[in-house]
Amino acid sequence: MATVNDPRRRTEDGARGPAAAATDLAAFAVALRRMNGEINRLVHAFAGDHGLHATDVQALAAILDADAPMTPKRLREHLGLTSGAVTACVDRLERAGHVRRVRESEDRRVVHLYYAADARSAARTYFRPLAEATEAARSRFTREELAVVLRFLAAMNEELGASADRDR
């Protein structure tokens, strides 16, 4: 059986050679798994150094990337956790100084979660190698190529999100 890196390997449509192999599904799967593994390595190291769980780091990313103030309910839905697990996660993050809970003045039942400013600088420092690797990789592509990469990543996130929604 030919491996993904074997230039003699045939793609789904029967094409052969390095160019065909570089764009087939298996090549994408390998590249995405490798990138995921490298990012997970950084996430687990950050979590371990800060007394957190890997899920806590996912929660931090969700809070940071949210387009509106994050609530515990939205965080629970995003992470696919129980309300008790999210409460424990937010408690750990708050104790470690990474997030703060803010009650809305209009309705005291509504709690918004914010990434603490001091924690942002710690995360930036820790994840600087990821930012530097991203910038180095970006520098090897044209603006047009990067636009295609971003479209692909957005489409992947959309598909994975739709898949997760169907599974719920």
Q: What is the pLDDT of residues 102-138, one digit of tens each?
A: 997 777 788 999 999 888 888 888 889 999 999 999 9
- Taking the C-alpha atoms of residue 27 and residue 3, their distance in angstroms, rounded to an integer, is 10
CB proximity list for 112: less than 8 A, separation 6 or greater: 69, 70, 71, 101, 102, 103, 104
Q: What is the pLDDT of residues 45-82, one digit of tens each?
A: 999 998 999 999 999 999 999 999 999 999 999 999 99
Compute the C-alpha angle 137/57/163, nearest 5°. 80
- Other C-beta atoms closer than 10 Å to the C-beta of 7 total 12
- Other C-beta atoms closer than 10 Å to the C-beta of 101 total 13
Name the pLDDT band for 5 (thresholds 50, 70, 90): low
pTM: 0.76
Nearest in space to 97 (alpha carbons), one of 71, 121, 133: 121
Q: Which two tokens mark 85?
A: 């697990």
